[in-house]
């Protein structure tokens, strides 16, 4: 049975056994079966100069400039893009997602030999992302 994790701006359903730890700038989601890190950080521009939509375009440009694949993605109520790449001994999947004015920076990291192992479960969890709607 899934548990719904709530923030002030978004919700996500996590499988039984997964836990969430609040860090200063992100939510760290622990997978009970993996040597992996999965975290979600809300977009926030302290300068106030960048909207979530502008941030999405900047992250896409940055990934393309580094010759990383950029794939359009929809994850629940959010849409944006995903990229994946190797860095040293780590495999990284990264998503830049927006819904309205809410931006999410999502990262999944695992040892390179484990690349791809958790893809289907991570994709299924991200499909449950929901924007919290203000009460009317």
- Show me where the domains of the chain are located: 3-131
DSSP-based three-state secondary structure for 119: helix
Question: Could you tell me the fold of the domain covering 3-131?
Answer: Protein Transport Mog1p; Chain A (3.40.1000)
CA 69 and chain centroid, separation: 16
pTM of the model: 0.89
- pLDDT tens digits in sequence order for the chain, 136 residues long: 578 888 889 999 998 888 888 888 889 998 887 788 899 999 988 888 888 899 999 999 999 999 999 999 999 999 999 999 999 999 999 999 999 889 999 999 999 999 999 999 999 999 999 999 764 4
d(CA 113, CA 72): 25
């Amino acid at each position: 049975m899934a548990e719904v994790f709530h923030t002030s701006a978004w919700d996500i359903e996590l499988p039984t056994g997964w836990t969430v730890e609040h860090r200063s700038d992100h939510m760290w989601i622990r997978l009970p079966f993996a040597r992996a890190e999965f975290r979600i950080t809300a977009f926030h521009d302290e300068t106030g100069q960048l909207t979530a939509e502008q941030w999405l375009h900047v992250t896409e440009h940055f990934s393309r400039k580094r010759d990383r694949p950029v794939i359009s993605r929809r994850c629940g109520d959010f849409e944006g893009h995903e990229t994946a790449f190797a860095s040293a001994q780590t495999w990284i999947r990264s998503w830049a997602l927006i819904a309205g004015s809410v931006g999410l920076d999502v990262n999944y990291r695992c040892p390179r030999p484990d690349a791809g192992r958790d893809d289907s479960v991570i994709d299924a969890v991200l499909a449950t992302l929901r924007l919290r709607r203000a009460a009317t």
